[in-house]
Amino acid sequence: METEVDFYELLEVERSADDKTIKSAYRRLAMRFHPDRNPGDAESEARFKAISRAYDCLKDPQKRAAYDRFGHAAYEQAASGGGQGGGQGFSDIGDIFETIFGSAFGGASGGGRQRRGADLRYDMEITLEEAFHGKETEIAIEVSQTCDPCGGSGAEPGTGKRGCETCGGFGKVRAQQGFFVVERACPTCHGRGEVIEKPCRVCRGEGRVDMPQTLEITVPPGVETGTRIRLSGKGEAGPQGAPSGDLYIFMHVRRHDVFERDGTNLFTKVPITFTKAALGGTISLPGLDGEWITVNIPAGVQSGEQLRKRGDGMPVLQGRGRGDLVVDIQVETPRKLSSKQKELLREFQQSETKAQCPDAMGFFERIKANFSKR
């Protein structure tokens, strides 16, 4: 199982973004996360490598077109130079473009080459707590699977396949069009080079049937909205014994009542009384790990100031450490006061000095000075 983040999400651009926008986004993020600017920061280094990989794909029109159609598997296949090791199952990058654009990129497939099954998408919603801890769960989907009676061959048990007489087993036929010879997939065997003598009665020659399937999913700690989990070979079964596609689990993290998330950092607004703001003290917040987090409030804290607790944020996906918890202080002014409280506050007001309230008193002094010059 492999966790992947969408290239557009990494570069923080829309899928419809033009080349100029993508280039600008890459430069901005590369400057922010470059290892030279973040020495010893493993998370920044990993992020820099990820955005560089994303830009390498999206800056190339052909790679981007393949990625938009087939996802990471297409990019990985191109980057590895083709062959059997890629997850997408194409023998070279030309096959990807052939599927997208037709025979202009190399003609129809032939020689018995089998097309893999389609990739599938499943959207999963989880809580922020589940994103913090990770989880083991099961999903139920209905997907085409290999037909048991024929073993995926598409042929009735006891029968088999024979070479296609139309194309002689080559999978392609040629036709003269003026000065050109056009090569197309054989219309009889559809490029496979062979035909089924007697189709299976269960799958009608397809080699696959739709069936419900239950899959176990491991959600790693630190996932966020847009993270993709790939289950190799768990997509749609290929026709007549061809390899299966992949299943992509797209993660969606539900909005939390207390915390907002930005990457590995958590943000929360905390209202405090004006007396606690003036005198200082402590507050306690329930952490996502089940432990209480104590935050020290310095005396004289102002509304809108942010207090940071290092290492109390979200875990780093497939890495070490955690982000930070940022507490946004909101000082609340009392709405209803008793006579005794009003009396105490008036007494306190009379003793206030500019050193204690430099912004408020300084502001009105500047206004008086400005108007006195007129």
Binding residues for Zn(2+): 147, 150, 164, 167, 186, 189, 200, 203
Gyration radius of the chain over CA positions: 31
Question: Are 142 and 212 contacting, i.e. CB atoms less than 8 angstroms apart?
Answer: yes
Q: DSSP code of 257?
A: S
The first and second tokens of residue 292, run together, are 């209480």
Strand partners, 211: 143
Question: Are 321 and 43 contacting, i.e. CB atoms less than 8 angstroms apart?
Answer: yes
- Give the C-alpha separation, 270 to 176, whole Å: 77
Question: Are 87 and 230 contacting, i.e. CB atoms less than 8 angstroms apart?
Answer: yes
Sign of CA dihedral 60, 63, 69, 72: negative
Q: Which residues are annotated as a binding site?
A: 147, 150, 164, 167, 186, 189, 200, 203
Beta strand pairing call for 120-126 and 172-177: unpaired
- Give the C-alpha separation, 88 to 288, whole Å: 38
